[in-house]
Amino acid sequence: MQDDEVLVGSLLEETWLTLEQVASACWVEPEWLIRHVEEGFFPDARSVAGTWRFTGASLRRVQRMRRVERDFEAAPELAALVADLLEELDELRARLGHPGLR
């Protein structure tokens, strides 16, 4: 795991981010993010008074999905599946008490 991922995980765990903040932090167009939200790939995203809000976990998910789509020219559905699997691995490692394995 990279140092920036540790920082994101520590500081943003309970923070809500706007669509613009997530798009900017992950180097994606807001339209890319909206399309993926509409497809249901970010279940933690919430619309509050017409403004999309994302969790820190969603930020990590956006980063992972964008990398998979870019690096492997993967379809969004495949990138979402990979993100799901990586999230499950993170959860299992946390349960085992081995944060260094992430």
pLDDT at 15: 81
Looking up residue 17, the CATH number of its domain turns out to be 1.10.1660.10
pLDDT in tens, the chain (102 residues): 554 554 454 455 568 999 999 999 999 999 999 999 999 999 999 998 999 999 999 999 999 999 999 999 999 999 999 999 999 999 999 999 865 555
What is the pLDDT at residue 38? 95
Cβ–Cβ under 8 Å, residues 36 and 42: yes
* The total number of structural domains that make up the chain: 1
Residues 18 and 68: their CA atoms lie apart, in Å, by: 23
Residue 101, domain member (yes or no): no
Q: Which domain holds residue 67?
A: 3-95
Strand partners for 52: 47
What is the structure's pLDDT at 6? 45
Q: Are 66 and 27 in contact (CB under 8 A)?
A: yes
User: Angle at Cα 10 formed by Cα 21 and Cα 35, nearest 5°?
Assistant: 35
CB 42 within 8 A of CB 58: yes
